[in-house]
Structure 1
Amino acid sequence: MTTVSEAAMTDEEIYRAFQEYLDKFGFGYCAVEGGHEMAMLKEFYTPQEALWCMDMPRNEFFDAQWFADKEGMALAEAEDVLHDMAVRGNIYRERTADGTMLYHMEPAAHGIYEFHAGDAMNADWIPGLYGTMAGGMLQQVYDAGIPFYRCVPADKSLVREGDLEADDDLFEMLKKHRRFCISPCACIQSSREIMGIENCEHERNVCVQTDEMADYYLDDLKLGREATLEEVGALLKENVRKGLAMQTTYAKKNEIICSCKVCHCGILQAAKMFPGDAMNNISRYEIAFDPEKCIHDGGCATRCTMGAITIGEDGVPVTGASCIGCGQCVIVCTPGARILVHKDPEGLEDLPEVVWDAYTIMEDNRRARGMIA
């Protein structure tokens, strides 16, 4: 229900208030010259829906009764409103073990943007979003202490014995999930099919969602297709063979698993261009190099997913700061010359249980640094 003060706001004022509200989540959603950031919000939210979203709890789940009480609605009306917004990708929802449906407001990029992949992507809003990303949003992603995606080794054989953490053994972790979805990569789809950027020829159906996130994609968004454990394992192994890095949410739950390379991945491009203080936590591993075993063939530089390896005048490869610890260079390197080793734990943040907790940490970090009020 709209309040008296909100009733006096114009639609433009409501959308601006909504943008400022979203900018205080996680990595934010900044305003840029020209107002391009409004395109996505106006495409998917009515002014009333924007007002409802700003009434929702910032970083916690809520049920329909809470929303009904907050807005002065009957429970049935509240359930209808929340259902409609959830199936359109405007808010996230998941069902608990006892059958209760819970809802959660979502951040702009991972949430609103990625939840509108597939048929919802079009030239009416994607160019504006790209302008917003280039105008400062992507820089904010790595200025929040931790990233919302982290890179895990492409295979445990690429890590020094005894160094691999259980949460980073991706193919073993897959066995703990009950449901999988394979969906299109929003980055590939938006850049190649909407913006016409011919950055690579990688297959676009490479993103994996698990458990509650898979439920949401399959049952609500109708985005992607259901897959078996064996299908997902085969897909990810093939993506590793093609030279892609394995990224997953900055959480133990691994709600989303992406196969990425800097050619098409917006968050890896941001990591290379704007390496803020979250960059250290993008991976828990770094490369150990033995120059005595290097044969100077340059294969590691060619294979690098980030273009982080350069070859010096002496023919010796140098790994730059944008290395994400994926291990692709280890795959093609002379045995023993390169291996992933665990970083100093003192410099790493603990993994939260779920990605929603990661967004809260990012927001708290930004607020503590004076980046948001």
Structure 2
Amino acid sequence: MGDEIYTRLREHIDSMPAGYPATDSGAEIKMLKKFYTPLQAQIALSIGPMPETAQAIAARLDMDEKEAVTQIQTMASQGSLFRITTPDGALFRHPNFIMGLYEWHVHAVDKEVAELADDIYEGLFEHHWKNRKTKQLRVVPVGTSVSGKDTVKSYDMIRDLVKGPGKGPYAVAPCICRVEQIKKGNEVTRPLETCLTFGLVAQYYIENGIGKPLTQDQLMEKIDECEAANLVPFSTNSKEIVNMCMCDKDSCQLFRNLGKFPKPAQEVHAAFHAAIDADACIGCKKCSKKCQIDAIVQTDIPAAKKRFVQRVDTDRCIGCGLCVGTCPQNAITMVENAVFPDVPDNAIEMSVRMAKERMAIAAASKEMA
């Protein structure tokens, strides 16, 4: 079959809401070859985003049913298909590349995969993130930065978002971006196990050995650990959580690409931005050292001890709130953005919105051609 089967698979995955664009280097095809045998690639082409039994999928394949079912189960155990375990048996569906099958291959990442990921992420940001109304992730402020605010929605309060009835089980896995850095031979100073998942996805992580289970108390401790490590919470872009990335500019692909935009604040979903009281600021720069997106800059206004007042560049601030707790003068507060993000109710609604927006863009491009 050569590369043809992988080209077709690339197109199939690109048809999913989050996309999987072609790159000039061919990195996306090389990545698929690392994760799928030719037979598995052929099987994947027959599997869509709606959950089905292995037998229903096998009926569409020109192969022995028992062999097909075995292959489907193997692909799910390897991270190439999503498996939903129900009392009546397992259901399978094809996932997005990000967030999905790539993260589910975290334990298969080697130096080659880590290097291929750079080009793939750049393609995803250019074609499926930049200027898109609905994105897969949104910023959730760290808890200490918005506590006590009456206007904060429950889905913008990190602990309210992740705990409670129906949110579990919980699981934590290695951050794939920090794994990439390690495989490239780079030093990683922040915690490795920070990828948080919830509900059915957490169940999949636990069943596949991708991550380990957490109790609710352990989840709270993990969130505290991430805030202490200066990590930015990026949650599923919905009111019901599925996953949460804990990101930093030293390791993460998200920040590597966000930092290229002149106005990163316009490229994320966030309900708040930080503001510094110039009269209270003593110019210690503790806040700027905390900022992961270089949104805090020095003014020419004198402060104490030959220092200068700091200010927030609202074009860059993504509203994570990490700077708030570090200020010794309590000079930083979180301010509501003029326009609150329109957050989908759940991941299904988010995916539908993303798919519709892609269809509209494709139709507009076709008309212009």
TM range (shorter): 0.7 to 0.9
Would you say 1:117 and 2:98 are equivalent positions? no
Shift of 1:126: 2.6
Would you say 1:93 and 2:86 are equivalent positions? no
SS in 2 for 1:11: coil
Match for residue 47 of structure 1?
A: 38
- Aligned amino acid, residue 120 of structure 2: T
Partners of 1:276 and 1:110 lie apart in 2 by 24
Would you say 1:30 and 2:24 are equivalent positions? no
Shift of 1:301: 0.9
Match for residue 282 of structure 2?
A: 295
Which moved further from structure 2: 298-307 or 69-78? 69-78
Matches within 5 A, 1:1-373: 10-57=1-48, 59-71=49-61, 76-96=66-86, 98-118=87-107, 120-134=108-122, 136-143=123-130, 144-155=132-143, 157-158=145-146, 161-176=149-164, 177-191=167-181, 193-198=182-187, 200-220=188-208, 222-274=209-261, 279=266, 281-314=268-301, 315-320=308-313, 321-335=315-329, 337-345=331-339, 348-354=341-347, 356-370=348-362
Structure 1 unaligned runs (5+)?
1-9
Shift of 1:286: 1.7
SS in 2 for 1:328: coil
User: 1:27–1:140: 8 Å Cα contact kept in structure 2?
Assistant: no
Report the TM-score when normalising by structure 1. Answer: 0.86
User: 1:160–1:340: 8 Å Cα contact kept in structure 2?
Assistant: no
CA 1:359/1:263 → structure 2, altered by over 3 Å: closer, same or farther? farther
Q: Give a deviation string over 1:126-167, Cα, whole Å, max 9, x none.
A: 322223334x23333422322212211111553562121111
Match for residue 305 of structure 2?
A: none
CA 1:141/1:294 → structure 2, altered by over 3 Å: closer, same or farther? farther
Higher relative contact order (CA 8 A, sep 6+): 1
Partners of 2:283 and 2:163 lie apart in 1 by 39
- Aligned amino acid, residue 8 of structure 2: A
Structure 2 unaligned runs (5+)?
302-307
CA 1:112/1:210 → structure 2, altered by over 3 Å: closer, same or farther? same
Partners of 2:79 and 2:265 lie apart in 1 by 27
Q: Percent identity?
A: 24
Shift of 1:317: 2.5
Partners of 2:262 and 2:215 lie apart in 1 by 36
- Aligned amino acid, residue 309 of structure 1: I
Shift of 1:100: 4.0
CA RMSD of aligned residues (A): 2.6
- Aligned amino acid, residue 296 of structure 2: I
SS in 1 for 2:3: helix
SS in 1 for 2:163: helix
Q: How many residues are aligned here?
A: 355
Q: Give a deviation string over 1:304-339, Cα, whole Å, max 9, x none.
A: 122221212333323232322110111122555322
Report the TM-score when normalising by structure 2. Answer: 0.87
CA 1:190/1:20 → structure 2, altered by over 3 Å: closer, same or farther? same
User: 1:142–1:279: 8 Å Cα contact kept in structure 2?
Assistant: no
SS in 1 for 2:17: coil
CA 1:51/1:111 → structure 2, altered by over 3 Å: closer, same or farther? same
